[in-house]
Structure 1
Amino acid sequence: MRNWLLLLLLILALPTHVQAGLDKLRFITEEYPPYNYVQNGKLQGIALELLERAFAFEGRQLDRGSVEILPWARGYETVLNTPNSVLFSTTRTSAREELFHWVGPISADRVVLMARKSSAIQIDSIDALNQSNLRIAVIHEDIGAQRLRELGVDPSRIITALNNTTALAMLEANRVDMWAYSEDVAYWLMDTHGYDRNAFEDVYILNEAYLYFALNPKTDPELTAKLQTAVNKASAEVPSLKFVTEEYPPTITLMKKVKYGERQLSC
């Protein structure tokens, strides 16, 4: 009897490995429609639904209420310094490559300089941009702001807006000449906030890349691999997901974006 008790105690003392699930990750996002945004008090969007389906493939349910919504710069800084944290939707670039581990892709994305058509702005090169005195709205630490910095644009001409809707309002009111931002997101905001999209145009492409889930590099590798596997499975079922419908105006579908993403994109 004593031997059995000793054996039981030894078994109980042995280290046990409990498989970590995706719910051990801390997910952080921002207002970046149609990929991730709040409507009627509910977080939704293309990236969120992809994440939700990824959780389902792991046999778990994503609690949308657990996803933190922060201003972009704050979320970016938080994930840079917090293991097991994830920021989405994040443009993957060469400058950011070593700062995060990457899971995805979620979608292709193009960052442009947007201007009012009435301003008749023409930018055909970076040199022409740098030699001008045009004012450009950006979001702090957004890919548009980072690209302008990398290209050596005079910081005195870069105007940091509080958020994307503020930047759009500044552009419409002629407080800035251009806005450096995602083309799709900019047009989505115009369509959903009462602006005439035909009054604006892209005048220069700053970056073409992909949106990803960006993970702190000290995140548990097992969790990173699990998320990538689950996202792969979810992406493979794109035709069955409701975000290929007209739920997200204007009609931006993941199928369309994947097709767009088949082009050779540069980071």
Structure 2
Amino acid sequence: MKLPLHPCPALLAGMLALLVCLTRGVAAGEPIRIVTEELPPYNMTQDGRLTGMSTEVVQAVLAEIGEQASIQSMPWARAYDIALNAENVLIYSITRTAKREKLFKWVGVIAPMDWYLYAKPGRKISLQTLDDARRFQIATVKEDAGEQYLVSNGFAVGRNLQSNNKYEYNYEKLKLDRVDLWISIELNALHLIRQAGDDPAQSVVRALPLPDVAGQRGLHMAFSPQTDDAVVARFRQGLETVQRNGTYAAIARKWL
């Protein structure tokens, strides 16, 4: 049987509806997956729920754009690998370095940060340049920006870097003299020291500031490279809105 040359209006309407549904499905893609790590006070699990300054900013952006997505906390190396290789993955809090610039689609800054090499006051370690640190053992976190920075400058895991999966291990190793130095973001270091019941002013000294680690200042949220640009733009607009309308400032006052 031949189809009519001029399909009836009902048939055309049905075909149009089907096309719209298919188009929306392609545009929507897979659900957004959000991955992070335990990096207090930026992102951390308390009483079974994720919180922290960066987490609250990400949640505010989700609310602003009307997006629902679960957040998973895991070791950084695993989160980093997922964000590199899967579609529609948002990762935070991530440092925007030159090495990572083309690996992710960047949304924007969600928290401030400053990197330092820390030492114990009693050790009296004097560092004028990064080269001075090469003869010491340094505690790092696997594949985080601090470790990547040191590796890119000729340091090596197993030689002068002791790599761990959890940030709190590094302060313990410094405290017990199992390492000489500890590379960390300042707010994370202060939080971990206080959490251990110690006074930061008595427990560590800033042996060397490391402004080059951060690249573009602040911790970011970023998408996996396979993510559609329209999704990235929508999150970027949402972040700009919460920064502009006072939501970000209110969150920052709670944590800084």
- Which one has the largest radius of gyration? 2
Number of aligned positions between the proteins = 243
Q: Which residue of 1 aligns with 2:136?
A: 134
Q: Which residue of 1 aligns with 2:180?
A: 177
**Identity in percent:** 29
Alpha-carbon shift at residue 15 of structure 1 (Å): 3.9
Contact 1:122 1:203 in 2 (8 A): yes
Q: Which amino acid aligns with 2:49?
A: K
Does 2:165 correspond to 1:158? no
Q: Which amino acid aligns with 1:138?
A: T
Alpha-carbon shift at residue 52 of structure 1 (Å): 1.5
TM-score, normalization by structure 2: 0.87
Alpha-carbon shift at residue 161 of structure 1 (Å): 2.2
Contact 2:57 2:248 in 1 (8 A): no
**Which moved further from structure 2: 163-172 or 51-60?**
51-60
Alpha-carbon shift at residue 55 of structure 1 (Å): 1.7
Q: Which residue of 1 aligns with 2:170?
A: 167
Q: Which residue of 1 aligns with 2:229?
A: 221
Does 2:35 correspond to 1:28? yes
Structure 2 unaligned residues grouped into runs of 5+: 1-6
Alpha-carbon shift at residue 22 of structure 1 (Å): 11
Contact 1:103 1:224 in 2 (8 A): yes
When residues 11 and 127 of structure 1 are mapped into structure 2, their CA distance, relative to the original with a 3 A threshold, is closer
Contact 1:22 1:226 in 2 (8 A): no
TM-score, normalization by structure 1: 0.83
**Which moved further from structure 2: 215-224 or 154-163?**
154-163
CA distance in 2, matches of 1:218, 1:3: 41
Classify the secondary structure of the residue corresponding to 2:112.
strand
Alpha-carbon shift at residue 166 of structure 1 (Å): 0.8
Alpha-carbon shift at residue 21 of structure 1 (Å): 6.8
Correspondence for 2:76 among 72, 76, 100: 72
CA distance in 2, matches of 1:101, 1:38: 26
Q: Which residue of 1 aligns with 2:45?
A: 38
Q: Which residue of 2 aligns with 1:11?
A: 16
Alpha-carbon shift at residue 160 of structure 1 (Å): 1.1
Classify the secondary structure of the residue corresponding to 1:24.
coil
Q: Which residue of 1 aligns with 2:99?
A: 95
**Which moved further from structure 2: 153-162 or 77-86?**
153-162
Structure 1 unaligned residues grouped into runs of 5+: 253-267
How is 1:47-126 mapped onto 2 (pairs within 5 angstroms)? 47-60=54-67, 62=68, 66-126=70-130
Contact 2:105 2:224 in 1 (8 A): yes
When residues 36 and 23 of structure 1 are mapped into structure 2, their CA distance, relative to the original with a 3 A threshold, is farther
Contact 1:136 1:176 in 2 (8 A): yes
CA distance in 1, matches of 2:118, 2:19: 61
How is 1:237-256 mapped onto 2 (pairs within 5 angstroms)? 237-238=245-246, 242-246=250-254, 248=255, 252=256
Instruction: Calculate the aligned-residue CA RMSD, in Å.
Output: 2.3
1:124-151: CA deviation from partner (whole Å, max 9, x where unpaired): 0123223xx2110000001111111111
Alpha-carbon shift at residue 157 of structure 1 (Å): 1.2
CA distance in 1, matches of 2:30, 2:192: 31
Q: Which amino acid aligns with 2:17?
A: L
